[in-house]
Amino acid sequence: MLQGEWTFDESNPGGSPGVQPCKEVDPTIAAPPGSKPSASALLLSTLVLGAAVWLWWTTGLAERQTALEVRTVPQGAEITLDGKAVGRSDLTLKDLDPGRVEVVARLTGHREVRREVRLEEGKTGLVALTLSPLPGTLVLKVQGPEEFLLASAEESWETPRELHLEPGEHRFLVRAAGFREKSVRTRVQAGGRTTLAIALEKAPLPSLPPAPPLTPPAPRMPPEPSLPANPSWPRVPTELPQVRLPVNPTRPAVPPRPTPRAPAPRAVLTPVPPPSTPPAAVLTPVPPPRTVPGTVPQPLLTPVNR
């Protein structure tokens, strides 16, 4: 009886009714001497031996083989190992030779990434690659003004036609003289071209304030009437004729006038104080008087100061 077989016994009080496990019996021992093993026993022995060999072989090979695990962000990049395409990430490459290998990851709209990896025998290496997206091209078509200003949160441009931007959503503000400003949004694809059409509306003219009331000018006084000209009055010529007087050659020349001299300074009289003693009497001679014929001269008395 082989391992795993069961016998039915209804008289078994301890176990399940009618079921009793049998004892393990080695087929080589249980077989009577001189008898051949059954076909089922040979088949089972072959399967068990094959499973044991397969487990030993796979376990030992896994421990001895060299492998490389490749991961990328984002996933789905095409992986090339030493110039040979091996699949898309993420993946694990097995049965590799130890040494240095070059791993290249490519993805549409992203920059190519290269990495050199050294593989050790019997070990699994790991390489992680990050692919940065390529900038996208934004083509602007603005209807209305010839010159405009395009501004974002980080930068501004004057009348641009094409912009190279990072992929993703962008917001812009468009301004132009005489037009209303407009805010637009667009999404730029990595490594692609995106066309953005913008139509600007003209701004209304500003309303002028009402003009102030006009003040009537002050009345002007009429000019004074001029007297009418009398036709009988003689007309005075505006330009008098020039008259030339004849020169008399016999007339003596007028001598030049002498240059007037400055007057001499006047003498200044300084008063002399009176002396302390009275001066002596001074006799002043008197001229003889004139006598008139027929008259008797009178004596002339002259006072004398004492």
Stronger pLDDT, 201 or 52, i.e. the higher one: 201
Residue 82 structural domain: 65-130
Within a domain: 264:
no
235 vs 256: CA distance, rounded Å = 44
Final residue of a structural domain among 151, 179, 199? 199
Within a domain: 285:
no
> 224-256: per-residue pLDDT in tens?
666 566 666 666 666 666 666 666 666 666 676
Within a domain: 236:
no
Would you call 156 helix, strand, or coil by DSSP?
strand
Residues 141 and 193 in one domain: yes
Within a domain: 1:
no
Answer whether residue 55 shows pLDDT above 60: yes
Residues 56 and 70 in one domain: no
What is the mean pLDDT of the segment spanning 280-285?
Answer: 59
Q: List phi, psi (to 5°) of 29.
A: -85, -35
> 283-297: per-residue pLDDT in tens?
666 566 665 555 555
Band (150; pLDDT cuts 50, 70, 90): very high
Residue 186: other Cβ atoms inside 10 A:
15
Within a domain: 258:
no
Q: 10 CB contacts (<8 Å, ≥6 apart)? A: 17, 18
Within a domain: 243:
no
Final residue of a structural domain among 130, 154, 184? 130
pLDDT at position 199 is: 92
Residues 52 and 109 in one domain: no
Within a domain: 291:
no
- Top mean pLDDT of 40-54, 57-71, 236-250 is at 40-54
Answer whether residue 215 shows pLDDT above 70: yes
pLDDT at position 123 is: 87
Residues 162 and 181 in one domain: yes
> 7-38: per-residue pLDDT in tens?
444 444 444 444 444 444 444 444 455 555 67
> 157-203: per-residue pLDDT in tens?
999 999 999 888 999 999 999 899 999 999 998 888 999 999 999 98
Answer whether residue 270 shows pLDDT above 90: no
pLDDT at position 302 is: 53
* Domain total in the chain: 3
Residues 117 and 153 in one domain: no
Within a domain: 76:
yes
Average pLDDT, the chain: 75
Q: What is the CATH number of the domain that holds 159?
A: 2.60.40.1120
Q: Which element (helix H / strand E) includes 35?
A: none
pLDDT at position 305 is: 55
Peptide bond before residue 9 is cis, with ω within 30 degrees of 0: no
Final residue of a structural domain among 61, 87, 108? 61
Residues 100 and 47 in one domain: no
pTM over 0.85: no
